[in-house]
Chains A and B, each alone.
Chain A
């Protein structure tokens, strides 16, 4: 069962949301609704299922309804229509008390402009969630101190937010959210206000923390690179409508419509995609045997290359052509293990970018081996080339704007 589920969630801002809802149901779109009634269609029939333990990214341009969407999850905003389920329970039925308890225990939030309390010290800010739910000063300060340290701010406990840089302030925001121990973390453009270097540090820190704590993160961003970098899955929002949900590879390789395609057009695929997206499973695995037997085995599988395994694991890669050549030549090695090229291996989550130099040098396909030592697949230089070239072949769909980048 999904941890969080949104069912047919529609949100209309304005003086008569119900009336607006009737119009929207009758097929009126965002612009028309605004023009005719002055009401804003914030979200339109949003359906999402967020699984426990994932980093679920919601991406869209400014005004697409991202903040509106994430605020439905802890009911900072109530929908005009639809259901919001957490653990299968509709949180819209909660009383004020139950909602407070829910916010104290289950969900915490990080804000774009940090939302820190300027009159409280770093320590008191981090302890805020614990204070609100009535924990004794000693206990909450111990927990808070711990988190201040974990986000790398030890020594700043008694500083005030305005004495810290933006990156440090957001670490306080992150520590405050993590300190409550809530299993769901909501992050609304949490890193958007930070400069690029600090931003990628924070992304790394988030990924590391998430791997360690295994919380569920709902992350909002308007930056596709950020989405691709940290997202387990990504939902793309346009004018309040979810246009696609998928893994980063699915979004990049199979955009659902022109809007998404325009978004992904400028992405550096070599950086955004991992080895997993281009590898193919190895058809042929050989142990150390004679060249004749190896060649026969490869022919039987119709494989042009094979991974050579020894008792202690991966040994190298051979191609059928090489084995044939060795059989003809005199003085060539007679055993497969000696012939195999010990090409470097990569884990499935390596960005393609990092594999390119090796792929060009090795002269053989590169094996993909996971942390446990299992061979998961092979990456051929051709596959890499084809994947990277694809975007050159694509023609840009007309009339679609990508991210506004005309700052100059």
Chain B
């Protein structure tokens, strides 16, 4: 009754992946190496630093973002509990992977968001791809990613980036499109170049929305840590995974708690910063 579509599609995909691995393997390896260098540097710094130092850094960051002492202390407390759960080292590994993933997402997401805001055609092209990235189960691209980069941290990061970038692209696009038309028109009327309009008006005014996008990207990146640990990324995800494999519910809970606490820290800090950049815009125009 059905024509055989699955067989040929499966074979074609496999051939394509194999071809890419053979033909562009070197390029991917170079990319992987670059990412790895950055990741290792961050990870080493975090793990070798004295925990008190890291806790102080979290407190300072939270205070700078929110300008509220209570919030800063709460964030420090959350991080302290992670240490008390005995997962400090794993948490630092996870943070390193997250930081690199989010940086990559920003590097890719903001320019794409801007491009998509500027042209309806770009947006029409990007949108279905974003839908696909968000709905397709991550295991599907974990397989070719693992084939291209081998098992380990790099494919984990790439899988995280694919999963976590779409909201940033969408929210950057939305933020820029929502900037008051008359304000953009005003800067054009005063002879601003496209670059001046972008950097002086559109991005600053879209910043609350962009910050929201970064926040969502972080949360989604955290949601990926367990899956990422399946292809060899270390960290709190691994703790959960081990708990699962050994039937050790207690260990699973500890890992889960650590992930939630990390999420709280990242979320509060970026949210606070986002709402602070918003203060002068909310009532604007």
A: residues with CB less than 8 A from B are 74, 76, 99-105, 107-109, 111-119, 128-129, 132-133, 160-162, 176, 180, 186
B interface, by DSSP: helix, strand, loop or mixed? helix
| Beta-carbon contact of A119 and B281 below 8 Å | yes
- What chain B residues lie within 8 Å of A102 (beta carbons)? 191
CA distance A108 to B191 in the complex (A): 9
Q: When the two chains form the complex, which single residue of B180, B185, B190 contacts A129, counting CB atoms closer than 8 Å?
A: B190
* Most B-side CB within 10 Å, residue of A74, A119, A186: A119
| Beta-carbon contact of A118 and B281 below 8 Å | yes
Q: Determine whether B244 belongs to the interface, using a CB cutoff of 8 Å to chain A.
A: no
- What chain B residues lie within 8 Å of A129 (beta carbons)? 190-191
Tally A-B pairs: CB < 8 A.
83
- What chain A residues lie within 8 Å of B205 (beta carbons)? 117-119
CA distance A128 to B196 in the complex (A): 11
- What chain A residues lie within 8 Å of B185 (beta carbons)? 76, 111, 115
| Beta-carbon contact of A115 and B182 below 8 Å | yes
- What chain B residues lie within 8 Å of A99 (beta carbons)? 191
Mark contacts of B48-89 with chain A using CB atoms, 8 A cut-off: 1 yes-contact digit, 0 otherwise.
Answer: 000000000000000000000000000000000000000000
Measured CB to CB, the closest approach of chain B to A75, in angstroms, equals: 9
| Beta-carbon contact of B285 and A111 below 8 Å | no
Q: Answer whether A118 and B284 are a contact pair too, CB < 8 Å, given A103-B191, A129-B191.
A: yes
Mark contacts of B253-285 with chain A using CB atoms, 8 A cut-off: 1 yes-contact digit, 0 otherwise.
Answer: 000000000000000000000000000111111
| Beta-carbon contact of B280 and A111 below 8 Å | no
Measured CB to CB, the closest approach of chain A to B182, in angstroms, equals: 4
- What chain A residues lie within 8 Å of B201 (beta carbons)? 117
CA distance A374 to B86 in the complex (A): 99
CA distance A103 to B186 in the complex (A): 11
| Beta-carbon contact of A111 and B281 below 8 Å | no
A-contacting residues, B160-192, CB 8 Å: 180, 182-183, 185-192
Q: Answer whether A116 and B190 are a contact pair too, CB < 8 Å, given A161-B285, A162-B283, A162-B284.
A: no
- What chain A residues lie within 8 Å of B283 (beta carbons)? 118, 162
| Beta-carbon contact of A115 and B191 below 8 Å | no
Measured CB to CB, the closest approach of chain A to B119, in angstroms, equals: 17
Q: Answer whether A115 and B186 are a contact pair too, CB < 8 Å, given A103-B191, A133-B191.
A: yes
CA distance A128 to B190 in the complex (A): 8
**Top 5 A-B pairs, shortest CB-CB distance:** A118-B284, A115-B186, A104-B191, A103-B191, A162-B283
CA distance A107 to B191 in the complex (A): 9
Measured CB to CB, the closest approach of chain A to B41, in angstroms, equals: 35
| Beta-carbon contact of B285 and A101 below 8 Å | no
